[in-house]
Amino acid sequence: MTTIGLIRHGITEWNSLGKAQGVSDIPLNDNGRIQATNMGERLSHEEPWDMIITSDLSRAFETASIIGSIIGLPIRHMDERVREINCGEIEGTTEEQRVKKWGTEWRKVELGMENFKDVANRGIDFLKDIVCTYKGNRILVVSHGALIGLTLQKLLPQKFQQTYIDHTSITILSHIEDKWDCSLYNCTRHLNHTLS
């Protein structure tokens, strides 16, 4: 069995302000670093992982680095396929600013945003490669909310018609005999209390 733990990066200033980030390379803020530390502490008390792979965007890389430093795992490599959806012209804007600029139907305007289907496809492509290359391993993947959510919706459509992925949540997938299963979804228990 191959196990993949999908972790969303810690929070950033743009997340706090409600700004679309996409591929803009925004660093973690102090709260994001605390969230990543909490996740690392949690994982240090659970079954060990074999490797960490991360998106190439700094907020994911820093989250992965913090977690890895606590559980004693270096980052294996970065992979652009698990970077966030490209949000085109809306990057750096809030919902209020988008409505003001393009109207309430701004989602129907061509603003250079990456297609949801394409995002899901690169997520699936990544997962297929991982289970082929690292069969039987336990792999942590630090990525982004839209990428994780859209990938889950395509991978297990009966289970995930809609998704919401919290900062530093973990979702655990297992792959055995060409079948996928999700044993844990969007878990943030490490943010709710101090782990012993």
Catalytic residues: 9, 84
10 known member of a binding site: yes
DSSP H or E run through 35: helix 30-44
33 known member of a binding site: no
62 known member of a binding site: no
15 known member of a binding site: yes
11 known member of a binding site: yes
CB contact at 8 A, 169 and 7: yes
For residues 99 and 135, give the distance between their C-alpha atoms in angstroms, rounded to a whole number.
46
151 known member of a binding site: no
12 known member of a binding site: yes
105-141 burial, b at 16+ Cβ within 10 Å, e below that, comes to ebeeeebebbeeeebbebbbebbeebbeebeeebbbb
- Residues annotated within a binding site for substrate: 8-15, 59
- Residues annotated within a binding site: 8-15, 59
